Every structure is written in structure tokens, then in C-alpha cells.
Chain A
């Protein structure tokens, strides 16, 4: 069966006054129907740009998609015009964002913001759209949903606003939900509630989800597939168990080691990855992680490693993946 979404060799760059920003440098991944995957990386790793590119949300100029194909239901999304992409957005591919405080329009009622996409994509009448909006609000657990359509975003709490965003995104029954760090701006207890809610809704509605996050800990138990991004490259990609148990890229290893462990027996200093994040204004010719890598050899400074398969459903972009893999497999990176 063909995957629901098939991203091949996507390249996105920004042409700014300071120079060319190499944001996304040829990433490929697939997503099956109803599947959950996570794209993990630090800020500036290209994880958001990578997914925004596929639905035409990159501000252009300065952004430009230079190459790639994005296959979705038999169509290459990168070949669609703005109007065709627009009809897809919010309808078949929906998004929720990081900061629910600023992601809702402060001067429009929640009802209007919820119904406008229903009226647009599903051709509902205003009354039908309102009915559907109330249904969605109930589904995401907003109390007294029917009375709250006339309220404005500032009358809801932060967690409730993220619920509103989720209700809004899922109202047209999308087949893919892109969740761009939806819990980063929320406090920890609310984070768990929101994640649980999205997982529950996924079971009920059956959409596929791409989680974008910088926090490996958050996604650990909830996705099947993981793509780790660094400097616009996917450096390690595969089934989540493989990545955790047989980590084959030093950056992933670093990320895993920097997660605080609740059950640690001794008090140890939290490990961090030495060095500075990469400069995206330089065209990457060698391995972008080499300057921070303890495994780096001469070859790493000369040639950028391609993403190669290291095991079934597991690939990594590292010249020394075998060394990394043997170390992590022996010692075992706690997950």
C-alpha cells in the first residue's frame, strides 16, 4: 500500500539579506494512514520549515522550495498552485501550533473562528457549522460548549485555548494533523492532558499525526516512527524502538542522554551536547554535526554522509554509525 504522505528529497531555502539560509536540505520520509510520527530536533533544525513547506505555508519570498516531491493521494503537492493548496489546508491537512495564546485571533469570536473553515471547506450553512463547532468543542472537553461560541479567546485559559485550536484543526476531519510543538507553551500537567486528548481523538477519528518537537521525552511512547533532524538534514530515521535501542547517530545519542531520568540511582550531572548549533548560512559540504561530535574522523570533515539503511526500518546519516551503534547497543541508552 502506498503511504498517505511521501516526502522525497525536499529542499527549502530562504534568500535573506544576510545570505542564503539552508533550512531544509533534502529530507525524505513517509507517513501511513493513521500513523503517528515525530520529527525531533533543536530550534533551527528545519523541522517546522520541513512540514510547513509541504502545505505552502512558507512565506515566499524569502522562502523557496528548491527541489523535492511530496506525494499525497496521487498528487505532488509541490506542483499544486496556491489555490489548490489552500483547499487542502485545514481540510485534509490541518495544523496546530506552539503558542495557543497568540495563535487565535484576539478580536474574533471563537464561534466565527471555528465556523469559517467549515463553511469554506465543507460548504456548511452557518447553522450547520455552528452545530458542528459545538460538537467539536464538546469532543475536546470544553464545558458548556454551546454557550461559548460568542466568547473571545482571552476568555479561555491557556490549556482550553489549545483545545480550541485542536477542535478547530480537526473540525473538517483531516487525514493528517501536523502538531507543531503544541505543548511547549503549556505547563506540564496541561501538556499531558493535551497529548492524551490528541491521542484519544486520533483513535476516534483516525487521522495520521506528525508531531514536531524538540523533546524526545514527550514523544517517546506515542509514535511509531521517528525522524531526528539536524541542520536541515534527517540524521536518523526509523521505527521508534530501533532508534531508542540501537541508536546509530551521535546526535540522537546526545539527545537521548540529555533527557533527565526520574529513576536515576545516582545524582549525575545532566549530559549536554557540547558546541554551538550549526550556522545555516553556510552551504553544508561536510557532516554538519562533525564540530560537536566525539566520534568524528577525518572523513566527516570532508564528506557529508548520506542517510543509509543500517537495519530494517532504521537508517542513519553517519560515517561512523557502526561505532555509535555498537556503543549504544552494548551500554544501552536508557529510554
Chain B
């Protein structure tokens, strides 16, 4: 198992390199002048200013040099300072955000992470739980109902569901609100009395012992969570259900029954453990689905996260911000799949021990 994990960790930098190659290749579609937008902070007044940037960052140099500069930065021969370099945290300057892309990512990521983490609860708990229930009641009403819900959840477009929720729960019933916090708290959380430990509002509220802010933040997340979770929930439900049905037919289940084990033990100890192996693989893809989902969801509910940033950047043709988002997502995915691969060996001894 240790060798497996070590090997897996050794592959990771190679995958990361691949991601940077892809992103860099996308930038090569642009010319040097357009590429200079990466480091432009103000609207350039003259052509000379643009040329200076191209010179300073080596944007017209051969491709391999450009890649190197982009990756680790370039020493400016005139001022002798190192400029650029994504490894140094310089992902360029965001036109939409009027701030460096890295700062924008840092500021907005906690909000998106918070949303994604909360969404994982209904997705994983709800999806797996209902999938198991459905399989155990194969072709009975519970199974039929869950299948209808799964099909609906899987086929309803995110933006339609989001708008429906807004119409019903915000406009008509007024139960839940969009945004991140109500106005009375929005200012308070920026004042000295409230420490933002994680920048995740629900977590910070609890750490500051402010149940009212916690509930308010949670209230604002209900609609985005539902919108974001439904598709992934439906997917996980279907995978869990079919995996359970598949495992229930296996010979070892008959053996377990022939040993006189209680039905509860047969299901929980024997069937479920095997059935969850493919589910874990899918759960990794869930994160990918969520990062796609946040773009539309955060935009609909005016939730200040990465997705909203990406959507704004896209409509204003802010390529630099988009690429920053893409790079960040790539790293996130690699991390997620690493976790999945490790989980996979933990639950399947056939991989762990071979």
C-alpha cells in the first residue's frame, strides 16, 4: 500500500506539469500583445507601455523560454527583480476583479469551498443512503420514487432549477434569500469584533459563537446547495443503487446468508462494503461536477465565489481570469483524485495487497 501511495504521489507532479502545459498552450493562441494583458494593470496609454511589458516579461521570446518565465518568473535585467511566474503566485492581473488573479482566488475560494462542502452532505449522505434504500426495496414504491427523482434531478438544467427555486422560495414564499449574508450582518463580519478565521461564513460564525450569523449564512446557502447538489445526488444515487443490486446477486451474499447472519449484518458488513467501491470513484468526479456547477449556481444566486468570478470573466472576455480559474481547477482535481485513489486502496484489499 505504501509503495502504491508513493508511486501515486510521484505521478502527481507529472500530471501537474501536464495541466500547466495545457493552460500555457491556450495562451499561445494569443499574440504577444494580447498575452501582455496577463500583466497589465491599467489600460495602457501608449504602444510603448505595451512593448515595455512584452520586453519585461519576455512575452515575445521562444516558446520554451516563455513557458519557463511563465512558470518560475523572469529576472528583469534593468531592475534586477524577478517578475511573473505562477510558482511565485503571479497568475496575472484580473481585469474583472481589478486585482491580481491570485488574490481574487484566495478571497473567493473559501466561499465556494463552503458551498461545495455543504453540498457534499446531501450528495453523499442522501445519494448513498437513498441508493441503498432503493436497492434493498428493489421494484417497490421507494425504489420507483427514487428512480423518478433521480431521473428528474439528472435531467433538469441547473439554471432552470435555480430560477424555479428563486421564484418559489424567494419571490413567493420569502423563506430563503440569495447572496451571502443579510445586510445587517454583512457589515458586522468585517468589523474587528468578528474574526474571519477561515473566511467560510458558517464556520467563522460558529467560531465566533454567533448562532444568528450562522443561521443567516446557512439560510443564504440553502438554494445554491439544492441547485448544486441535485445533479450529483442523482448520479450518486443511481450508481449506489445499481452497484448494490449488482453485489446483492453475488455468491458471497448467499454464503453470508447460509451462515445464518442477520440480514442487517449481511447488508451492512458484506454487501455495502463491496458496493461502495465504485461509488468512491464516482464521488471523486462529483467534485469536478461541483466546480462546473458553481459557475451557473453562484451567478444565479449572486453568491460571491469562484464560479461567479469565472462567469463574469467569461462574459467580459477576461481570458486571464479564466485561465487562472482553469489552472486552479486543474490543481483541485488532481488533489481530489489523489484522495479518491487513496480511499480506493483503503477499502479494497485486492488493490492494497497486490
Contact = CB atoms under 8 A, between A and B. Distances in A.
B260 A91 contact: yes
A99 B252 CA distance: 10
Contacts of B270: 105, 108
B259 A168 contact: yes
Given A102-B250, A103-B252, A108-B270, A88 B349 contact: no
B253 to A, nearest CB: 8
B254 interface: yes
Contacts of B257: 57, 89
A45 to B, nearest CB: 19
Interface in B245-270: 250-252, 254-262, 265, 269-270
Contacts of A117: 259-261
Contacts of A132: none
A176 interface: no
Interface string A81-122: 000001111110011010100111111110000001100110
A165 B254 CA distance: 12
- Which of B250, B257, B258, B265 is most buried by chain A, counting CB atoms within 10 A of its CB? B258
Given A102-B251, A106-B349, A89 B258 contact: yes
B140 to A, nearest CB: 11
Nearest to B259: A90
Contacts of B256: 105
Contacts of A109: 349
Interface string B263-285: 00100011001100100000000
Contacts of A87: 260
B350 interface: yes
A152 interface: yes
Interface string A29-70: 000000000000000000000000001010000000000000
A165 B255 contact: yes
Contacts of A55: 258
Contacts of B269: 108, 116
B347 A107 contact: yes
B251 A106 contact: no
Given A57-B254, A105-B270, A108-B273, A116 B350 contact: no
A123 interface: no
B43 interface: no
Nearest to B271: A105
Nearest to A82: B263
- Which of B260, B269, B349 is most buried by chain A, counting CB atoms within 10 A of its CB? B260
Contacts of A103: 251-252, 254-255
B156 to A, nearest CB: 32
A154 interface: yes
Contacts of B10: none
A87 B259 CA distance: 9
A57 B258 contact: yes
A88 B260 CA distance: 7
B99 interface: no
A294 interface: no
Contacts of A165: 255
Contact of A105 (B252, B262, B347): B252
Contact of B265 (A104, A116, A121): A116
Interface of A: 55, 57, 86-91, 94-95, 97, 99, 102-109, 116-117, 120-121, 152, 154-155, 165, 168-169
19 contacts: A86-B261, A86-B262, A89-B258, A89-B259, A90-B260, A91-B260, A94-B259, A97-B254, A102-B251, A103-B251, A104-B252, A107-B347, A108-B273, A109-B349, A120-B262, A152-B349, A152-B350, A165-B255, A168-B255
Interface of B: 250-252, 254-262, 265, 269-270, 273-274, 277, 347-350, 353-354
